[in-house]
């Protein structure tokens, strides 16, 4: 890895574009700090994977993990959506909030769809293009050739290409570089630890910048997809975008440093540190969920015969933690009066909190549960 050559700048007339070196080759990893950190990251991932197996009905909580990832990844691109905004009715959101919400919702849909398709299609240019098409539907980048690699030059930072912070490779090189990246993902001739491999994949994808828009989100989406496809995790429960968002400038600086100085070591260390921190936080979140469930069960016992309906409603809220009265009526299959009473009792217990302050079209949130994902 010490002999890594990131690429070369290619003259394009009025500007220079960066042509990255293909990555599907033999890599030698001898840096002791990287290897030590890799061991720590592997252990924490193993703990997270083991812990997720012992969480009852874990599929109820995957939705919120994915939502947290989508919000974090989209924040890096400038959206201001909160987790609860994803579940609030659009009538209670401002127009700009609705557009931000749609971008986050597209990320969620794209990730879930990609996870489902892994049963038939491995991570590939085909899968990546499909994920991008879903990501861009009906949002700000909808006219920027969704689902297709770019056929024109893009750039990062700067008002024009001439003062850009970084100019990715010419569009004529994109397909070849992406084919090389796909081969690297699946090549078994060159054995490499998975966490280091996906760190390099993410770096290379962001350097190629194959789409006109949405590259950051697709590049980050590849991380949980890879870990799930390679069976590093039995459930898609590690989402690192919040770590990148929290350390946004370092995230950009390490990627850029790898390009300009042909030095991947700082980037890989940063990535592995993110895996460790994110895995520990995931374990803490699952543990807090189990404790909160017990607290809810204790409180619901006070409802007597209505406790069963209380549990049914809260189980629904684990996947969608904001609800209206009409939704609750459908979930519980009861007439309005008993649902109104139940919601009121859950408010009095501080389990549900009303969000809107309206007299009509009120929405209720499972606030303590959402707060577990805001750490």
Residues 129 and 272 in one domain: yes
Residues 191 and 295 in one domain: no
Pick from 285, 317, 351: which residue ends a domain? 285
pLDDT at 358: 78
* Inside any domain, residue 338: yes
The three-state DSSP-derived secondary structure of the chain is CCCCCCEEEEECCCCEEEEECCCCCCCCCCCHHHHHHHHHHHHHHHHHHHHHHCCCCCHHHHHHHHHHHHHHHHHHCCCCCCHHHHCCCHHHCCHHHHHHHHHHHHHHHHHHHHHHHCCCCCCCHHHHHHHHHHHHCCCCCCCCCCCCCCCCCCCECCCCHHHCCECCCCHHHHHHHHHHHHHHHHCCCCCCCHHHHHHHHHHHHHHHCCCCCCHHHHHHHHHHHHHHHCCCCCCCCCCCHHHHHHCHHHHHHHHHHHHHHCCCHHHHHHHHHHHHHHHHHHHHHHHHHHHHHHHHHHHHHHHHHHHHHHHHHHHHHHHCCEEEHHHHHHHHCCCHHHHHHHHHHHHHCCCCEECCCCCCCCEEECHHHHHCCCC
Per-residue pLDDT of the chain (375 residues; tens, 9 = 90+): 668 999 999 999 989 999 999 999 999 888 999 999 999 999 999 999 998 888 878 887 888 889 988 999 988 888 888 888 888 888 888 888 888 899 999 999 999 999 999 989 999 999 999 999 999 998 877 778 999 999 999 999 988 999 999 999 999 999 999 999 999 999 988 889 999 999 999 999 999 999 999 999 999 999 999 999 999 998 888 889 999 999 999 999 999 999 999 999 999 999 999 999 999 999 999 999 999 999 999 999 999 999 999 999 999 999 999 999 999 999 999 999 999 999 999 999 999 999 888 777 889 999 999 999 887
Residues 231 and 336 in one domain: no
Listing from the earlier edge strand, what are the strands of the sheet with 353-354? Answer: 322-324, 363-365, 353-354
Residue 308, number of CB atoms within 10 A of its CB: 12
pLDDT at 366: 94
pLDDT at 57: 80
* Inside any domain, residue 56: yes
* Inside any domain, residue 246: yes
In 3D, which of 268, 273, 262, 111 has the Cα closest to residue 202? 268
Residues 221 and 351 in one domain: no
Residues 328, 313: contact at Cβ < 8 Å? yes
Q: What domain range includes position 13? A: 7-20+30-285
Residues 122 and 241 in one domain: yes
Dihedral (Cα; 333, 371, 219, 75), 10-degree rounding: 110
The token pair that represents 161 in the structure block: 């290409």
* Inside any domain, residue 25: no
CB neighbour burial string for 97-120, b if at least 16 within 10 angstroms, e if fewer: beebbbbbbbbbbbbeebbebeee
Q: What is the pTM of this model?
A: 0.93
CATH code for the domain in which residue 52 is found: 1.10.3290.10
pLDDT at 1: 66
CATH code for the domain in which residue 318 is found: 1.10.10.10
Residue 303, number of CB atoms within 10 A of its CB: 17
Residues 207 and 309 in one domain: no
* Inside any domain, residue 189: yes
Pick from 237, 257, 285: which residue ends a domain? 285
pLDDT at 152: 95
Residues 274 and 326 in one domain: no
Residues 46 and 183 in one domain: yes
- Rounded Cα gap, residues 250 and 234, in angstroms: 30
Model confidence pLDDT, tens digit, residues 37-95:
999 999 999 999 998 888 878 887 888 889 988 999 988 888 888 888 888 888 888 88
CB neighbour burial string for 58-73, b if at least 16 within 10 angstroms, e if fewer: bebbbbbbbbbbbbbb
Kindly report the length of the chain: 375
pLDDT at 63: 87
Residues 199 and 107 in one domain: yes
Provide the domain count of the chain: 2
* Inside any domain, residue 2: no
pLDDT at 62: 86
For residue 359, which phi and psi values (nearest 5 degrees)? Answer: -80, -25
Pick from 233, 253, 285: which residue ends a domain? 285
Residues 235 and 355 in one domain: no
* Inside any domain, residue 123: yes
- Rounded Cα gap, residues 194 and 328, in angstroms: 44
* Inside any domain, residue 1: no
Residues 114 and 172 in one domain: yes
Residues 143 and 243 in one domain: yes
């Amino acid at each position: 890895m010490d002999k890594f050559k990131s690429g070369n700048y290619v003259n394009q007339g009025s500007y220079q574009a960066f042509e990255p070196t293909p990555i599907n080759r033999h890599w030698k990893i001898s840096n002791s700090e990287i290897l030590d950190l890799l061991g720590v990251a592997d252990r924490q991932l193993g703990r997270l994977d083991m812990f997720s197996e012992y969480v009852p009905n874990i599929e109820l909580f995957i939705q919120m993990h994915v939502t947290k990832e989508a919000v974090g990844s989209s924040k890096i691109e400038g959206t201001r959506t909160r987790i609860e905004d994803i579940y609030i009715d659009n009538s209670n959101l401002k127009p700009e909030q609705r557009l931000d919400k749609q971008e986050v919702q597209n990320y969620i849909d794209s990730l879930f769809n990609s996870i489902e398709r892994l049963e038939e299609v491995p991570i590939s240019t085909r899968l990546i293009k499909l994920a991008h098409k879903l990501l861009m539907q009906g949002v700000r980048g909808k006219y920027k050739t969704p689902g297709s690699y770019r056929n024109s030059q893009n750039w990062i930072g700067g008002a024009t290409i001439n003062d850009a912070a970084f100019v990715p490779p010419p569009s004529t090189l994109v397909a070849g570089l992406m084919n090389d990246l796909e081969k690297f993902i699946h090549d078994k001739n060159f054995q490499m630890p998975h966490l280091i491999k996906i760190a390099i994949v993410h770096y290379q994808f962001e350097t190629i910048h194959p789409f006109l828009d949405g590259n950051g989100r697709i590049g980050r989406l590849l991380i949980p997809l890879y870990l799930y496809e390679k069976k590093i995790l039995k459930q898609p429960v590690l989402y690192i975008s919040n770590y990148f968002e929290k350390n946004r400038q370092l995230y950009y600086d390490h990627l850029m440093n790898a390009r300009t100085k042909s030095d991947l070591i700082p980037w890989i260390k940063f990535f592995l540190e993110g895996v460790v921190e994110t895995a520990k936080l995931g374990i803490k979140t699952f543990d807090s969920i189990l404790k909160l469930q017990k607290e809810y069960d204790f409180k619901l016992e006070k409802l007597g015969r209505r406790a069963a309906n209380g549990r049914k409603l809260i189980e629904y809220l684990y996947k969608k933690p904001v609800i209206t009265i009409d939704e609750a009526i459908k979930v519980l299959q009861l007439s309005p009066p008993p649902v109104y009473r139940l919601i009121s009792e859950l408010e009095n217990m501080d389990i549900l909190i009303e969000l809107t302050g309206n007299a009509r079209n009120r929405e209720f949130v499972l606030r303590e549960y959402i707060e577990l994902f805001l750490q």
